[in-house]
Structure 1
């Protein structure tokens, strides 16, 4: 039986986790209404000042700061196509605000050989005990939050986390325009 979370239940997980939260992102675009203004402004101007202002007041950044102050880990890996889509270029430009709040974000170019070992879905892994798989509609809007807590499935997601984390490039070192780093 599939267990789904409401949007509010999903949001609450970021307050309730005990030690670690980890995310794998595999999409080149996300259509999240709360980001639209900052993204469109950045597309027009190349300026992240709206995102910077948002980072000072947003519930997300405040929760990350509180959790990090309590010793909890926030990590994520973004699997990205190169050249980067407009959306991912904006995320790259604005990632410093998430990192300043306390997230550790890394980048894994889609052409890296290890990406073939990873799943084709976004997920959050909470305390290495349960998974929330994110489902998106045809317009890249998240619309379902599926809970997975079967031990074998959780172990598989932990393995994917470990693979992605090992090969992903820390944000401060990731240069999207660098020549192919993985050629032999």
Structure 2
């Protein structure tokens, strides 16, 4: 079992990075989404695209105002899972805070040989690998600073980012396939 950092330490990485916080999301769903209040609202057909400001979005705003970047790629199945459709509906909230969220079809991720691992990459120097159980419950984050592993995460980012599409483009593709 990997050694996990504590939650307070986890949060500091999003405040102290110098230029880029980049995330790869590979799961088909996250238990934290299903357990949150917006899930039931979304399933009832309500618009969940905007929230009142919260700590995460306020920090993203501060960091991006300072010229830093928050970027994510979300791997999406065809057709998207319920969890992926929920994240697509919620993405405008993150984007309004300053995140650049893009999507990559799982088949394209397979052709790029992307691993099935969720991680944050900070400034091309350190990463947090996010661990989940089979029920999509978050277990903890493992700090990685090994240069070879960081180089692999940079390769993953560099291979996938130019091929990923913006939320509005993915939404159009999903709607045209329905």
TM-score, normalised by the number of residues in structure 1: 0.87
Tell me whether 1:97 sits opposite 2:99 in the alignment: no
How many angstroms apart in 1 are the aligned matches of 2:33 and 2:175? 29
Give SS of 1:5's match: coil
Structure 1 match to 2:118: 122
Structure 1 match to 2:158: 162
Q: RMSD across aligned C-alpha pairs, in angstroms?
A: 2.0
Q: How does 1:143-182 map to 2 (within 5 A)?
A: 143-174=139-170, 175=172, 176-178=174-176
Structure 2 match to 1:38: 38
Give SS of 1:11's match: helix
How many angstroms apart in 2 are the aligned matches of 1:84 and 1:68? 29
Task: Tell me how many residue pairs correspond in the alignment.
Answer: 175
Structure 1: stretches of 5+ with no match in the other structure:
180-184
Give SS of 1:28's match: coil
Give SS of 2:31's match: coil
* CA gap 1:137/1:75 in 2 versus in 1, 3 angstroms: same
Q: Is the CA contact 1:129–1:149 (under 8 Å) kept in the aligned structure 2?
A: yes
Give SS of 2:107's match: coil
How many angstroms apart in 1 are the aligned matches of 2:125 and 2:157? 13
Deviation at 1:22, TM superposition (A): 0.2
Q: CA deviation digits over 1:118-156, x for unaligned, max 9?
A: 111000001110111000022211112111111111001
Give SS of 1:47's match: coil
Structure 2 match to 1:20: 20
